[in-house]
């Protein structure tokens, strides 16, 4: 009886040892296969995609600064009123509505020159319009104001803005992502691999600049023709 029991115990031990061995083999295979899969999952390429679009500004803001100086306050004020009327008539003749031109500030200062007291009155008017064509015509004819005695001071430039950026953001991001995938596919082709899904992506800032690279400044007018640009950084899995 004892020999039979010993044989049974030996058989059980062999079975247990066999199960443990099989478990270790299977576990080792799965672990190794998992590491291979992990290494494949870590294979990726980071590329950048670019999207650009030419647009035309839809808002123009022209600030007009002008001033008069003299020894008599009433006389200087009368001259300022004449300049204001000249500017108002100038824009009305071009077809702008009356509410397109609004006061944007005024000031009075006193000084002395060779012992003579002087008073200086400054005023600022602002044209705000979505009629870009008409605004450009006004800027082209601004010397008509000079001929009427209105001297515009430095800082009287016009600026053009594109306000519908949110309307074109989604298609531009999609375009930049496609451009990034094309770059990743070229890299994968050169490396004899394939491109998988997106691992991570970062959208860059949208920039709106002059289309032809000109920068507005003193003596240089802003332009309504803009270029919108965005760069995305995308990390693609490699297969």
Q: Where are the domains of the chain?
A: 1-42, 44-56+164-238, 59-161
Distance CA 131, CA 142 (A): 17
- Give the pairing type, strands 195-203 and 158-161: unpaired
DSSP state of 220: B
Q: Which residues contact 221 (CB under 8 A, 6 or more apart)?
A: 139, 157, 158
Q: Cα–Cα distance between 200 and 234 in angstroms, integer?
A: 6
Is 50 exceeded by the pLDDT of residue 26? no
Distances in whole angstroms, Cα of residue 141 to Cα of each of 66, 104, 118, 155, 220: 17, 22, 32, 17, 16
Those residues with Cβ within 8 angstroms of residue 173's Cβ, 6 or more apart along the chain or in another chain: 51, 203, 230, 232
pLDDT exceeds 90 at position 13: no
pLDDT tens sequence across 214-228: 554 434 468 999 999
Listed range (1-15, 123-137, 214-228) with the worst mean pLDDT? 1-15
Q: How far apart are CA 213 and CA 224, in angstroms?
A: 12
Q: How far apart are CA 85 and CA 101, in angstroms?
A: 12
Average pLDDT over residues 17-41: 45
**Higher local confidence (pLDDT), 34 or 109:** 109
> Can you say how many angstroms the Cα of residue 214 is from the centroid of all Cα atoms in its chain?
17
Architecture in CATH of 59-161: 2-Layer Sandwich (3.30)
Beta-carbon count within 10 A of 41 CB: 12
Residue 24 has pLDDT above 70, yes or no: no
What is the reported pTM? 0.72
Most confident of 4-13, 114-123, 164-173: 164-173
Task: Label residue 22 by pLDDT band (50, 70, 90).
Answer: low
Distance CA 175, CA 155 (A): 38
Q: Which of these, 61, 224, 60, 65, lies nearest to 156 by C-alpha position?
A: 65
Q: Which of 27-36, 174-183, 226-235 has the lowest mean pLDDT?
A: 27-36
Contacts of 65 (CB under 8 A, 6+ apart): 122, 123, 124, 152, 153, 154, 155, 156
Segment 157-189, tens digit of pLDDT: 899 999 999 999 999 999 999 999 999 999 889
CATH class for the region spanning 44-56+164-238: alpha beta
Phi, psi of 215 (to 5 degrees): -115, 130
**Cα–Cα distance between 82 and 84 in angstroms, integer?**
5
Q: Assess whether pLDDT exceeds 80 at residue 69.
A: yes
With vertex at residue 220, the alpha carbon angle to CA 89 and CA 108, rounded to the nearest 5 degrees, is 50
SS3 58: coil
């Amino acid at each position: 009886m004892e020999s039979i029991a010993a044989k049974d115990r030996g058989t059980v031990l062999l079975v247990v040892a066999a199960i443990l061995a099989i478990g270790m083999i299977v576990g080792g295979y799965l672990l190794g296969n998992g590491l291979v899969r992990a290494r494949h999952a870590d294979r990726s390429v980071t590329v950048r995609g670019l999207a650009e679009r030419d647009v035309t500004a839809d808002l123009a803001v022209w600030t007009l600064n002008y001033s008069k100086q003299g020894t008599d306050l009433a006389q200087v004020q009368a001259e300022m009123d004449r300049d204001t009327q000249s500017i108002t008539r100038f824009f009305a003749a071009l077809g702008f509505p009356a509410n397109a031109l609004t006061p944007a500030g005024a000031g009075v200062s006193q000084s002395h020159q060779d012992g003579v007291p002087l008073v200086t009155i400054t005023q600022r008017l602002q044209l705000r319009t979505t009629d870009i064509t008409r605004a450009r015509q006004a800027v082209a004819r601004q010397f008509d104001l000079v001929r009427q005695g209105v001297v515009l001071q430095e800082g009287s430039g016009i600026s053009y803005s594109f306000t519908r950026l949110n309307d074109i953001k989604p298609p531009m991001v999609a375009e930049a992502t496609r451009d990034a995938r094309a770059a990743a596919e070229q890299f994968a082709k050169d490396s004899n691999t394939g491109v998988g899904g997106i691992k991570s992506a970062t959208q860059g800032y949208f920039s709106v600049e002059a289309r032809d690279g000109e920068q507005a400044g003193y003596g240089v007018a802003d332009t309504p023709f803009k270029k919108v640009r965005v760069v995305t950084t995308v990390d693609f899995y490699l297969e």
